[in-house]
């Protein structure tokens, strides 16, 4: 991973942390994780995924494991979905975001129940609805910005 790519992901993480502080309950890292999945660079995916999981788990209020499980299922669903559809378009990310929001509801309802954390089903449903709506748009903005970095990085290598 080059320095410009590492700097881009670090900047993305800083912006995602700031946005999550403004809008708690929404996962702004998920769109970046989808972007890393789409690039199919396994070492980069592992580093980015580990960074995002550590940040998310550190900022969250649940015991360790919910985000790790969610992102692992996101990777599995992504690779299965790519076998069925082209995994790079806005429609794919929209459907992927809706499916992941449903998975988010089940995982976090189950983990909150197991950890005796009080939770409101309608509030969690609203978070999942917002996540499903915002994920493709955040992904789109990130992918436009990411294309500029990738293009600039390839021009330097020539």
Q: Give pLDDT tens digits for 115-150.
A: 888 888 998 899 899 999 999 999 999 999 888 776
Q: Give pLDDT tens digits for 36-75.
A: 998 888 999 999 999 999 888 887 667 766 888 888 988 9
Give burial (CB, 10 Å; 0-12/13-18/19+) of 45: middle
Which is more confidently placed, 68 or 85? 68
Backbone angles phi, psi at 152, to 5 degrees: -65, -40
> How far is 44 from 102, CA to CA, in rounded Å?
27
Residue 67, pLDDT score:
84
Q: What is the mean pLDDT of residues 81-98?
A: 82
Is the per-residue pLDDT at 158 higher than 70? no
Task: Record the pTM.
Answer: 0.84
∠ Cα 38 157 16 (to 5°): 40
Q: Where are the domains of the chain?
A: 3-157
């Amino acid at each position: 991973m080059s320095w410009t790519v590492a700097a881009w992901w670090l900047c993305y993480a800083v912006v995602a942390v700031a946005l999550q502080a403004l809008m708690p309950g929404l996962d702004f890292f998920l769109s970046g994780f989808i972007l890393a999945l789409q690039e199919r660079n396994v070492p980069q995916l592992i580093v980015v995924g580990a960074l995002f999981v550590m940040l998310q788990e550190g900022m969250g209020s649940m015991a360790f494991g919910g985000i790790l499980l969610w992102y692992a299922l996101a990777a599995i669903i992504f690779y299965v979905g790519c076998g069925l559809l082209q995994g790079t378009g806005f429609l794919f990310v929209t459907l992927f975001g809706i499916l992941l929001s449903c998975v988010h509801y089940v995982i976090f309802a189950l983990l909150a129940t197991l950890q005796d954390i009080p939770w409101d089903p309608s509030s969690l449903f609203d978070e999942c609805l917002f996540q499903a709506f915002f994920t493709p748009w955040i992904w789109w903005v990130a992918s436009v910005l990411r294309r500029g970095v990738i293009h600039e990085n390839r021009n330097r290598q020539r």
